[in-house]
A and B are shown apart, each in its own frame.
Chain A
């Protein structure tokens, strides 16, 4: 199976008439069995179509047109309008929201996440590329055009979680080349506050029978890795985990931001070396090179060793 989405998942694209959103819609429709993109929203553009997908002024119109609950939304509106768009999705009963938009102030993200929690909705991102279930469906720009996504992602037993959108594809491609497909790959976003962290996605992979191991991409900054290490230890996860840590050089440059908004060394707990230690203590193998990951996760699965 998969986590978060499957062949039956219905979703809309908010901001669908934007240049990148038009491409993203095409990609999702083309990939796998073809995503069920049941509508798009851009205020003032009611009646248009984007690759055959009807465009509405509001999410409520999209839901009414669909005639029932819509599972998800991909939000691609500019930062100043993102909070309102996400609130609109949540208040119209949408349960899974992928926020692609970058550079959203943290306060807005925190408000969206809190409302989502109150309403039982889940947010992936912001500043992410979305979710892909190889050969089945993708929700977001992850992997790019259908042809390119098919080249990198193959179905299989590995769950992938990554703070970097591009590295989700790089790692999955490396796994695929070694004969290790993916159950689901999730680009969780590179900001300091995100809707779903590693530890928050782990229970879903844990419950997914197809998934036998987890590969994660991590960076300096924040405490998400410490949270994962704690979760793994407390829950006695059945899933072996291999992590890759980028940005080791940043330990020498505290206070400087590189890569993603959430990537900055502020204290001693969020350095690369401190995180590597914590992950290792929880039994998570930290790879030095991406090409080493397939062998490591294969070994761990073969040994039946938990994380």
Chain B
């Protein structure tokens, strides 16, 4: 889950890394008060979870509190990349001598975090790595031993930075490593990290992403920051259809029938499991089909859950038929999914044999499942029909409907 800049800055501040005397607000008049308190020129920054805010006009400079207020008013109403801002950050315009970069990410191959430092900041670190590779220092560190000052020194020194700068940077990098580890982050980045005319350093912007699986461990921090439990902060906001999918999955604790993503096609998909869903979604598209949704079934869900998911998909406007397909199941029971999807059809007044384009779930309890499907005249396939072939048949049927 990504943090807004104002949240990331708060986390950094709490960790003892110097930040500017900024203020966050959702109100233009208050932006003026903050600018007044700061005194002097300010920067008004849109708080959105998307890149390119500078280009989009979401970052503007103000010389007076009045100007700060009018900029804030405009920025608060400005949509950037499909996102409305959460608020604005009013930041003193710092006299920066040089911009640096400091960040921590995971290396999935080494299976350790890696500290990245550069004396070239303010731009994308990947661009620096490409154009000036000798200006980017990297250092992996242990998951078991605490990050130590000498490691910060090594990564800083490797970029040619020395003198008082090096010594002043060490605690910042060490604290950043600690923030990353202690908060279960997948990204902790200060960019730019500014060196001011008096030689001190200050974080001018920060990006942070906390791992969803670990949110439960950081309830206190998230509550302090005002982050709601319902906020997923995916690349795009969840649609009402997707939220309804989450409710279906929350029906009970047995298995999974959810992870719904909305698309705009006419073929509803009730598919699984993780890898099977990816494979099937590709296959439907490869045959020219237009999926109405992505979803995942797995871990042996209850009849109620399978039924709920099928109903949700069947009721989606524009859906003509559903395809019920999974890779060979060994835990999920074929008969339970069959009963769930048939029940969904019946409860909505549909003929299961008509609405279910194909049912391809082989595996555990398949004899029982196939018997039920036969009784309701549903076209089904066993493991001798590949995932790809099942997807092809489903697409063929729905295109027959459209034609």
Closest to B106 in A: A106
B108 near A166 with CB under 8 A, answer: no
Residues of B with C-beta under 8 A to A111:
143-144
Closest to A289 in B: B388
B143 near A248 with CB under 8 A, answer: no
How far apart are the CA atoms of A257 and B328 in the complex, in Å? 23
Closest to A111 in B: B143
Residue A169 interfacial (CB < 8 Å): yes
Residue B354 interfacial (CB < 8 Å): no
Residues of B with C-beta under 8 A to A104:
213
**Residue in A173, A247, A267 whose CB lies within 8 Å of B278:** A247
A107 near B330 with CB under 8 A, answer: no
Given A106-B106, A111-B143, A192-B108, are A173 and B296 also a contact pair (CB < 8 Å)? no
Residue A165 interfacial (CB < 8 Å): yes
Residue B112 interfacial (CB < 8 Å): yes
Closest to B126 in A: A267
Residue B149 interfacial (CB < 8 Å): no
Residue B167 interfacial (CB < 8 Å): no
How far apart are the CA atoms of A255 and B386 in the complex, in Å? 30
A107 near B261 with CB under 8 A, answer: no
Residue B298 interfacial (CB < 8 Å): yes
Select the residue from A144, A152, A256, A288 with max chain B CB neighbours within 10 A. Answer: A144
Q: How many residues of B contact A (CB 8 A)?
A: 52
- The smallest C-beta distance from A145 to any residue of chain B, in angstroms, reads 7
Residues of B with C-beta under 8 A to A149:
330
A290 near B330 with CB under 8 A, answer: no
**Residue in B181, B363, B383 whose CB lies within 8 Å of A107:** B181
- The smallest C-beta distance from B342 to any residue of chain A, in angstroms, reads 23
B327 near A169 with CB under 8 A, answer: yes
Which stretch, A38-46, A48-56, A205-213, A219-227, touches the partner chain B?
A219-227
- The smallest C-beta distance from A119 to any residue of chain B, in angstroms, reads 11
- The smallest C-beta distance from B69 to any residue of chain A, in angstroms, reads 34
- The smallest C-beta distance from A307 to any residue of chain B, in angstroms, reads 19
- The smallest C-beta distance from A162 to any residue of chain B, in angstroms, reads 7
A258 near B328 with CB under 8 A, answer: no
Residue B384 interfacial (CB < 8 Å): yes
Closest to A269 in B: B126
- The smallest C-beta distance from A195 to any residue of chain B, in angstroms, reads 8
**Residue in A106, A115, A144, A246 whose CB lies within 8 Å of B213:** A106
B275 near A260 with CB under 8 A, answer: yes
Select the residue from A109, A110, A255 with max chain B CB neighbours within 10 A. Answer: A110
How far apart are the CA atoms of A81 and B343 in the complex, in Å? 38
Residues of B with C-beta under 8 A to A5:
none
**Bitwise interface map of A from 135 to 171 toward B, beta carbon under 8 Å scored 1, else 0:** 0000001111100110010000000001111110110
A residues 215-247 near B (Cβ < 8 Å) are 217, 219, 222-224, 227, 244, 246-247
Given A170-B327, A291-B386, are A259 and B111 also a contact pair (CB < 8 Å)? no
A255 near B235 with CB under 8 A, answer: yes
B residues 322-355 near A (Cβ < 8 Å) are 326-331
B residues 205-259 near A (Cβ < 8 Å) are 211, 213-214, 217, 234-236, 259
How far apart are the CA atoms of A177 and B259 in the complex, in Å? 32
How far apart are the CA atoms of A262 and B186 in the complex, in Å? 12
10 closest residue pairs by CB, A with B: A144-B330, A164-B275, A255-B235, A167-B275, A105-B214, A247-B278, A246-B278, A170-B327, A259-B274, A246-B279
Residues of A within 8 A of B (CB): 20, 79, 103-107, 109-111, 113-115, 118, 129, 141-145, 148-149, 152, 162-167, 169-170, 173-174, 177, 190, 192-193, 197, 217, 219, 222-224, 227, 244, 246-250, 253-263, 267, 288-291
Residues of B within 8 A of A (CB): 106, 108-109, 111-113, 126, 142-144, 181, 184, 186, 211, 213-214, 217, 234-236, 259, 261, 272-279, 281-283, 285-286, 294, 296, 298, 326-331, 363-364, 383-384, 386-389
Given A106-B184, A197-B109, A261-B213, 9 new contacts (CB under 8 A)? A107-B211, A144-B329, A166-B330, A167-B275, A169-B363, A217-B275, A258-B278, A259-B278, A263-B274
